[in-house]
Chain A
């Protein structure tokens, strides 16, 4: 069993990535959603859960990675990856990816389009 991480906004919006995430989940892999979260930012936890439901994503757990800016959120994502022992993380944001490459031991898959 391998633990996989997926960013939500900008990543799981792509149908091919969604299909990959669901495929992994349906084949016994752990699929964790790591999504950036700005407290008081207006994009609430419930809105994110609603989006996951609307997109039809099946996953093990959703993790809100808090931060006041992109660098801080990227660092929180890295810490979450380390804590969960995630092998592969799929993300589209270069700032998050930079932080995760620097601060986590996970292998990062950067969506370039």
Chain B
């Protein structure tokens, strides 16, 4: 199986994290697809997301600071939102949802978990995966 998870608000729920770990241990492919807003600063950038994966037990810190080791079948995609100076909030969120859907389709993900109502609304227009919204 190819299973996708949003990170913030989804994979940080213990039972879903445990599900992702069990899927990896059983040889399935796990994709983490997360949006990122550059203006939010360091707490939300790709580095912060990798550190979060270490805290969740899904990745390990590497030998040097800023290096991380991911399990073989774990893929992470951090999608940068388009420039906030040029586009308004609604456009940026819709765009991220569509790009998440596009990534899901491109990688053949069969089931995607996400907690965002808007993303869950947008993703199906770009992919054929089953979408499960975490309420």
* A binding-site residues for B, Cβ under 8 Å: 2, 14, 16-17, 19-20, 23-24, 27, 87-88, 90, 97, 101, 107-113
What are 26 pairs between A and B in contact, CB < 8 Å? A2-B15, A14-B130, A16-B1, A16-B110, A16-B111, A17-B130, A19-B110, A20-B111, A24-B19, A27-B26, A90-B132, A101-B135, A107-B15, A107-B134, A107-B135, A108-B135, A109-B132, A109-B133, A109-B135, A110-B132, A110-B133, A110-B135, A111-B133, A112-B131, A112-B133, A113-B130
Contact pick for A107, options B1, B13, B120, B121, CB 8 Å: B13
CB closest residue in chain B, given A20: B111
Mark B residues whose CB is within 8 Å of A: 1, 3, 13, 15-16, 18-19, 22-23, 26, 28, 110-111, 113, 120-121, 124, 129-135
Q: Which residues of the other chain, B, contact A88 by a CB distance below 8 angstroms?
A: 15-16
The residue on B at minimum CB distance from A4 is B15
B135 CB → nearest A CB, Å: 4
Taking CB atoms, residues of chain B closer than 8 Å to A17 are 111, 130
How many residue pairs, one in A and one in B, have C-beta atoms under 8 Å apart? 58
Q: Is the contact region of chain B dominated by helix, strand, or loop, or is it mixed?
A: mixed
Which listed residue (A16, A23, A107, A109) contacts B26, Cβ 8 A? A23
Given contacts A16-B111, A16-B130, A90-B132, contact A112 B120 (CB under 8 A): yes
| Sample of 11 more A-B contacts, CB < 8 Å, known A20-B111, A110-B135 | A2-B15, A16-B1, A16-B111, A16-B129, A19-B1, A101-B135, A107-B13, A107-B134, A108-B134, A111-B131, A112-B120
Partner of B135, one of A24, A27, A97: A97
Q: Which residues of A contact B135 (CB under 8 A)?
A: 97, 101, 107-110
CA of A14 to CA of B1, assembled, Å = 14
Complex CA gap A92/B103 in Å reads 24
Least distance between B39 CB and chain A CB atoms (Å): 29
Asked if A111 meets B1 with Cβ closer than 8 Å, knowing A27-B26, A88-B15, the reply is no
